[in-house]
Structure 1
């Protein structure tokens, strides 16, 4: 018996229904052997009583009896196979948490090597052998081990999901195409898999590009911080050079100056750190998505890829960093305001500081052209639109160019005018009523009154004491810093500064060569004269 069993192949002891060694083998009239339970259940489900192997139909259901000879041979073969599996299992690893176990193993479940999409069973190395040696089983489709193989079956028709409906964007079985998805655009699962895999490759490239852009943005921000540090160091050095010449009464103001500059720098660094942290977080999320996309793109599991594609194809929420900048804080006017109270003893130093500051802000000079729509009809305008002659007419003039960010500087010759208003204003509509000029109403200006006095219509207004009458006034604006500074260009003196402004709208240069004494009678858009 033992010698004979060695001459028989493993295929002869496997039931073609359960693919396992015979249990209570029975023989059909056509001569094929099956487990008694397997063939009985098979005939109970099917209407016709036929052989699963040769398809011979039996008009009368055969009476089945256990084939004792085959039963003895199968028992001996099962014992031999168990001994072989026992030796093999000692070399194989048991399935760990998270790994797919073999569905056939009894007792300790070994780690599955492959899953069969036809049998809907996962096999370890030992139980996978029939699929590698048996001619019939070799035609089955094997994939890397996966759980929940039942999920690959159509829940409605109990058939394998092997097609993809593009119309409804879902996996379907063969019966679905002639019933629920009739006339839909249906393609083989593999075809859709290849298309989606190509999209994943493209998505991965796009994600990598986004990561690279954010890395470059981090470098840009760090460079901006370095430039800001240089500006801060230079400004501190200038301030220290001035205040070290003073005695104890000046030391306190020196410390305040340094603290102010460092605080601005700290704010810049804090802003930059926030941007960097946010960028690094996005990079982390994008790299995580990249890893997920890469893993999914390598999957040979058609269904798993398609079912996971929808959630992975959506890019993680990210911020548009194109317009994000870290602007170094503006220090114009900082040292000047600190030493202005020591004017008598620091007049020489003040002039040097203003001259240096003017050189810096003049780097932001802009060319402003008058807007003819904002000039009163009685007024005459030069051909280059840079000058206007009102005679004794009081009107407001604005430029076409508006500013919504950054820094800009412009100068106005005011020596010909005995009364004028100069500065910047937000976009306003035509108004006939008298409008007090102030930051609240959208005006940041300096005024020369009919009596020859100067004041800044701030909240509240500030009377200005100037040593000389300005002939040329320079106006510097730092939009992000909320700063508007007025300079007597020829005397290298600071006239006035509006600080801590909150700009949210367009700003226009503004000039009104008329005795309005701080009240606008009618205007349109903001202005400039050069």
Structure 2
């Protein structure tokens, strides 16, 4: 019961209804009144004199629950009022009791928690289709439910619908609302299909007037984009944006496509020009190379002819001198042989006279003997030491050595000129170790340059400082005053190598003709070498005895990148990543050699790493 003098007619206008219509609405009104009564506030006498307490009041934490229940039963009350009001006018609208899916009177009605009612079969079928998504929604307001709610029959609503059926007030829908052959049907109608009047580009569905109403009533649906009807809506919606028609989207994309094609075609034209230019450059390179080879062959042929002529001249001179000397010797030999013959004849006469027995005859014949003539030659022949033409051989050998020196120096310059023929600009320096490894080269140490206190191992890739000198043969290329060594290979073009070290080590590049002894022979103290020194927690770069200190974490593995033609020398710390330590930009005039130098501490080592 409602406390006080509250007039029930002020809540519901039942005094205007006939008893017949009240009987139809009563099943809806009674539960609403009962629930409303349970939430009314009852003033009760207070135990103290300060006023009264309210038994029906709820704490704040239950306020929202009360509001929700009030809204639910208010909906039922409104439904009853709608029913009774429509009955009073004799124009009862069956849509208030129709399923929004099949658009027929509710059959075995159920009500979702959002307040919308459907036939049990209709909503079950709808949710069965949504099982794969795992989320179920209200067909009208699109509110989602997870997990799938249990469906229970709304007995009050079922009784009201049954009363409507008995009164015979149900009217058939107008024929013009149903779809024809060419019409677009409502996607939510499951029974008789109603004509759709709008399409939603968010829902990707078309709706009749009834099912479209939720897009105007429900806040979460009001921002959906409604457009005029689309046939084959799914096929005409842009799959990327789902907001405009595929035709409109294609027009925009077609414009972008045309612009992109224009850019691509322009790039193609530019690249074709580049290809043509490169083709011409290839022809020019081939022509220049062929002519240079031809000219070089002529020059070397001339050199060979010159050497052959000089060889022939030397041969002719030797033969001429040979003939002259032999002739002189033979003349002397002939005269000596004549003198020998005469002497032998005189000796025979004297021997015969010595055998004469008659003393008078001996004395008579002795004075008649002719006197012995003086020899035209000295008593001995002076002959030079047995060298003959060996001095000529020595002179030719000296010429050969000088030519070899000239050819070696000239060949170095020629090789450098050949490698500097580079039509294209140098590529930007690599950033990753994988890029550097494309230029990796195998480097070994030259034993002829090793200081006597360095022990070579690992196929001459590793050098270690020792206590005792090693048994190396004497060689003009050997470093005598410092524990340092150069590579056997000369370096031109683009090269990359890595050095693993322990102790204190200089990683170096130098020219082949660097001095080998004296204070200026240490790497970095002259203009013929570049050295990176690792000292404690820092680096020091040396060139021409100028010191540059470099801060940064010291790594026991260092990568060296050389671009000889571009004059670039870079040192990198190698660990999990490549970190630039120092870069030099200069002009190299000769091929370079890699090298290492040690502070003379036993056990210090450095190795040219094998790179894969």
TM-score with structure 2 setting the length:
0.27
Name which structure has the greater RCO, CA cutoff 8 Å, separation 6+: 1
TM-score (norm 1): 0.31
Q: Which structure has the larger Rg?
A: 2
